[in-house]
A and B are shown apart, each in its own frame.
Chain A
Amino acid sequence: MATDTVKSAAPEAASRTNLVRDSLRRRHFNERLFRALGLLAICVALGFVTLLFADVFRKGIPAFTQTNLHVAVTFDPEVIDVGPAPTSDQFTSEAEYNAASLKWQRDLALLNWNTIVEQALRAAAPAGTEIDARALLSIPETNARHVLREMYVKDPSLLGQTVEVDLLGSANTDNWVKGNIDRTLGDAQQQLSAEARALIDTFEADGTISTGFAWAIFTNVDSRSAPASAGLLGAFVGTLWMMLIVVVLAVPIGVAAAIYLEEFAPKSRITDLIEVNINNLAAVPSIVFGLLGAAVFINWFHLPISAPLVGGLVLTLMTLPTIIIATRGALMGVSPALRQAALGMGASKTQMVFHHVLPVTFPSILTATILGIAHALGETAPLLLIGMKAFVASVPATPLDQATALPVQIYLWQGNENRNFFEPRTAAAIMVLLAVMIFLNGAAIYLRSRLEKRA
């Protein structure tokens, strides 16, 4: 009996080994297939990201340099004939002085400063150049006259003097210099006249025109009449205001709601319902939040249109579910052993949560929060519905002022008709937005690793 089993066991074992080997071959094949598919998926994803970045960078980097005109400007007393600036000692009262000062400035504004711009350019052009004033004035950006007037208002002693000034080249000049426009196109299709183009080439050759870093992008607000001076400052500050409101509102409310729901709320129908609805809210298209914002904050609460306050509130509503869900997930992941240890020591529930549970989940909550904010930072759709896509040429000083936001500014520039100039500048704006996002994500990663090391 015993020997029988031993005899029959040997071939049985051999056939079993073969069976295992067969199935192993299948398993190995599946494993390799899965790995290859995974690798392929990652390569495709990375490829697209690289393509996107490469495209944005290729287009955007040239926009960080800009054409400047270096000319000698004479503040001609014949043109500037409004008399000297009033001084305070000429007047008995402050009010009279202010009124006179305002009148002087208004008179200055009514002068034709373009004459001075024109004179400066003619002086810079080689002798014998024939060009009409219109063509000549298309070379510098149209804000040149404001720049000169502001210089004079700040320093009236410039009257009659000649000073070297850097003026921005117009968007069309910039296009021509950078080769963004096809030089072989006929006169009818060129934005600049033949004389102007020739003069630009001369200026470029003699160094009157040079390219420098485009500070305008960072120091100026948006502009339509002077596209070359259009910058992101207004949008950037608008975004900062909104993010401030999101951080101040969404983070405490979201984290507090998550803590209450996860740790304190009795498990009941109502809490289940709330949970389901929070999950649903996270999936609501963001433009719907914009509609809600328009209906509630603007129509009902009468908050101002285009204000970062309203934008911040809308983005807060949009970010809340993300923060609540992520925080609850983090709280759920805390080991029951830690909770029991705290309760076993006689800690109250609140003490357990605040002394033990929150500190260990803090890094996750922080990461979730920063990612939520980064998401809000890039959000455009809801802002369009509350009027933040309006053209705003000022820096919002308070969250109640009109403003726009970085992603909306990108949207606005993308739609600008001067494609040759604004396509690179849009890409540059995208790069700035990406830089802010990468900074936020980097901060999340850094803070997380630091806090985890400490814990």
Chain B
Amino acid sequence: MDVLAGKVKVTQKTLDQTMNPAELMDHPIRLTARDVTVHYGAKQALHGISIDIPDRAVTAFIGPSGCGKSTFLRCINRMNDTIEGAKVGGRIELDGQDIYDPKLDVVELRARIGMVFQKPNPFPKSIYDNVAYGPRIHGLARNKADLDEIVVSSLRKAGLFEEVKDRLSEPGTGLSGGQQQRLCIARAIAVGPEVILMDEPCSALDPIATAIIEELIDELRENYTIVIVTHSMQQAARVSQKTAFFHLGNLIEQGDTEDIFTNPVNKQTQDYIMGRIG
């Protein structure tokens, strides 16, 4: 009981700083998923996921390892396409447009839906080139000055500019883990995406770097729709406004983060939040 009380306290403290649930209702739905299934060969990894993801808010996917939360995240920007033998069913819409429409260019989709991975994976190039890569391939900058501006503003938004402004030409791989992850976020932002997917972005980072990233996520939600997969319930509670709980490839429960953490309806959600499974 003590454990639960502690968790609830943490949750409420964090939620006080964020918006209230009524405010979340005002956010229009950006992404909708209906009956999404994923098969890896013969194995079914996701069983009919349906969820609405609100605009300019943080949606967290939580659940024990292997529950399908990352798999579902990768459906949203079609990264599952790159996995041999993966088959996605159902329908996912971004602003009402089916993202699995064969006529839709997956490259354009990924320019609109950016992604930050579990392990920081900057390109083995300079910090500048890391951020400039997206704008370059998508032709977003007309000239060098434009590109410079995009790079600087993206690094600023990712809260990294002050730390790296004197060494933009040094390799991105030489930064610390937390800085690398912020560089990856800057790289994603530089393309001007509408949605940013984050796949356990802090799992390889120490608590201080994690705190900085979480703060950054909180700032970014002003301008971006963010979906974050995390196995840390505290993190979900701290940064998200909406939470979805996955278990064994099913979406068990979804709702406002506050509701999920204080008043879970489903027994499994309850068990997970109280630390009985996972």
Contacts and interface: CB of A to CB of B under 8 A. Distances in A.
Interface stretch (B29-37, B118-126, B213-221, B222-230): B118-126
Interface centre among B111, B121, B184 (most CB of A within 10 A): B121
Interface stretch (B5-13, B77-85, B152-160, B244-252): B77-85
Contact of B107 (A339, A347, A455): A347
A385 B137 CA distance: 51
B107 A356 contact: no
Mostly, the A contact residues are helix
A433 interface: no
A360 B173 CA distance: 13
A343 interface: yes
Interface in A416-455: 455
Given A337-B117, A348-B107, A360-B124, A343 B82 contact: yes
A345 B115 CA distance: 7
Given A337-B117, A356-B123, A455-B124, A345 B79 contact: no
Interface centre among B109, B123, B191 (most CB of A within 10 A): B123
Interface in A301-352: 335, 337-348, 351
Interface in B155-214: 184, 187-188, 191
B110 A340 contact: no
Interface in B109-148: 109-111, 114-115, 117, 119, 121-124, 133-134, 137-138
Contacts of B110: 343-346
Interface in B59-84: 77, 79, 82, 84
Given A267-B84, A341-B184, A342-B123, A347 B117 contact: no
A344 B133 contact: no
Contacts of B119: 337
Size class of the contact patch on chain A: 20 to 34
A341 B123 contact: yes
Interface centre among A335, A342, A346, A455 (most CB of B within 10 A): A346
B108 interface: yes
Contact of B122 (A341, A348, A360): A341
A27 interface: no
Interface residues of B, number: 25
Given A338-B121, A348-B107, A356-B123, A343 B79 contact: yes
A355 interface: yes
A455 B114 CA distance: 25
A341 B124 CA distance: 11
A361 to B, nearest CB: 11
Contact of B79 (A344, A348, A359): A344
Given A340-B79, A351-B137, A355-B133, A345 B188 contact: yes
A346 B79 contact: no
Interface in B73-105: 77, 79, 82, 84
A341 B121 contact: yes
Interface in A43-75: none
A352 B191 CA distance: 16
B111 to A, nearest CB: 4
Contacts of B121: 335, 337-338, 340-341
Contacts of B114: 344-345
Contact of A345 (B82, B109, B191): B191
Interface centre among A335, A340, A345 (most CB of B within 10 A): A345
B107 A346 contact: yes
Nearest to A338: B121
Given A351-B137, A355-B133, A344 B117 contact: yes
A345 B187 contact: yes
Contacts of B111: 346
A344 B73 CA distance: 12
8 contacts: A337-B121, A338-B124, A340-B121, A341-B184, A344-B79, A345-B134, A346-B110, A455-B124
Given A341-B184, A344-B114, 5 more contacts: A339-B82, A340-B121, A344-B79, A345-B133, A346-B110
Interface of A: 267, 335, 337-348, 351, 355-356, 359-360, 455
